[in-house]
Structure 1
Amino acid sequence: MRTGPAAGRSGYFHEALCYALDEELLAVAVPFLLDGVAAGEPTFVALGERTGGLVRSALPTDSGVQFLTGAGVYARPTAAIRMYRKLLADLVADGAEQIRIIGEVPPPSLGPTWDWWARYEAAINRAYDDWPLWSMCAYDTRITPAEVLADVAATHPHFATADRGHLPSPDFLPPETFLRRNRPVPPDPIQAYPPVLELTDPTAAQARSAVHRAGPGQLPAEDFDDFVIAVSETVTNGLRHGSPPVRLRLWTAPDRIVATVSDTGQGPEDPYAGLLPPTDGKPGGLGLWITHQSCNHVTHYRDAEGFTLRLTAGQPPMPGAAVHSEPPGDDSRPGGSVGQQVSSGTRP
């Protein structure tokens, strides 16, 4: 039997907890967690080091609450979805009638990479709806930008309040509606310079070879290999499911590599493409799912010229990051010697 505001419901009860004081966080989190343990429900904390420490200190010793490593859980949206879906399935298979989780995305994710976390918050309304989950997503309003809070209101059906209330969000949007919105995507600062390579209608093999020639810079070998796979999958999707021409462009910086793959089509019809594992055989689903797990940031947009996916490996730019003083095509930059525009066809 389910307890709390989810009693009598099926599926996912998704709440946001927006707080301006640490005391407000604890006023909601501690009863939420202890009530779950008292009801015999698997109960978890997936907060960051600071907020997780506050909650741990406020709980009694041997409270029965289980702590997950927040930074590890929320490394990438698709990784979080994959981990939670397995956890929820295993717990329900063991007899759980309700699971409680309070978590938060890491504060750096509230900046330039927030767009894919906003899509995560929308997508999990469906991704976790097969299980009796009651979760709270914590947002500290002292550090959360107003535009992020607007997305929080649009992606969470309910708000938890410090007086233990559970209010509907008047701004909530069905996840499909939210995910289909064409969000503005600010360019990475290194995109202010010409790309180090540009290919039109490359094969997947040509794309992989060109990225390898550009080089990994200072990226770990595993991260670079994952990025090459992501570029290959994205180019393949564009060739198979997009509209020609398909154009690959690549920029490099000491701490990251950015690639865009564009075609003149409208992009995938499935609003969950890339965020949820494909189960219905829709075109491009598996490639986008792999891509979202292989990069440190994936975003997309539509404009008058078609659909573009942007992939980032390495450290995405922080808020207010300045453009590097040397253009990416300079030979002193990683991949700079490749950067005299290479093309396998004509530009559109």
Structure 2
Amino acid sequence: MPPDDWPRRPCPETSGPRYQAEITDPRQLRTVRTGLRSWLSAVSADDDADEALLDEALLDELLLAVDELASNGLRHGGAPVRVYAASTTQGLLLDVSDGDPDHGPEPAVGRDPALGGMGLHMVAHLTSVRGWEVRGDHKHVWACLHLR
């Protein structure tokens, strides 16, 4: 993965309902996944034009991306990790922040996939655009998943 696949750039603007959660432990990811499912169902029910938001494949991709980004935040950036999701005109935005504004996401290079560390590569493969930025004392790593 080229280093510019996670460039430092601002997160896209969003409007409308937003999902938010804060975690301090990887065991809380189950609650985040459940919350995202409920939020996505509620957003889709409120807007008939967004029936595609309920697409199971998109939901699976969103849940995989949140698992990878949030666990990276806990492991490398430090708790608390905040998870935000919002719909955009093109799809879904996932924004995960942590307490390490000094270090951006660093995809593994030259590592045997059997040793792990491939989460950023997987998220990059699933998303159309991604990046990171610093706001205040938090790093925000974000990715957009396109609707089908």
**With structure 1 as the length reference, what TM-score do the two structures score?**
0.33
Q: Distance in 1 between matches of 2:122 and 2:130?
A: 11
- State the Cα distance separating 1:246 from its structure 2 match: 0.7
**1:294 and 2:129 correspond:** no
Partner of 2:94: 259
Is 2:32 the partner of 1:207? yes
Distance (whole Å) between structure 2 residues aligned to residue 194 and residue 290 of structure 1? 28
**Cα contact 1:201–1:244 (8 A) shared by 2:** yes
Corresponding residue of 2:65: 230
Q: Is the 8 A contact 1:277 1:286 kept in 2?
A: no
TM-score (norm 2): 0.70
Contact between 1:204 and 1:233, CA under 8 Å: does it hold in 2? no
Please list, as runs of the form range in 1=range in 2, the aligned pairs for 1:108-123 lying within 5 A after superposition: 119-120=4-5
Matches for 1:55-66 after TM superposition, within 5 Å: none
What runs of 5+ residues in structure 1 fail to find an aligned partner? Answer: 1-77, 82-117, 121-178, 316-348
Q: For 1:252 and 1:269, locate their aligned partners in 2 and report how far apart those are by CA, in whole Å.
A: 23
**Residue 188 (structure 1) aligned to one of 6, 9, 12:** 12
Quick check: 1:310 aligned with 2:135?
no
Give CA-to-partner distance per residue, 1:289-322, whole Å, 9 cap, x none: 222122222211234312111121115xxxxxxx
Structure holding more strand per residue? 2
Classify the secondary structure of the residue corresponding to 1:189. coil
1:195, 1:249 within 8 Å by CA — same for their partners in 2?
no
* Structure possessing the higher relative contact order (Cα contacts under 8 Å, 6 or more residues apart): 2
1:264-343 paired onto structure 2 within 5 Å: 264-265=99-100, 266-268=102-104, 270=106, 273=107, 276=109, 278-279=111-112, 285-314=117-146
Higher CA-based Rg:
1
Q: Which structure has the highest helix share of the two?
A: 2
Percent same amino acid among aligned pairs? 18
- Counterpart in 2 of 1:240? 75
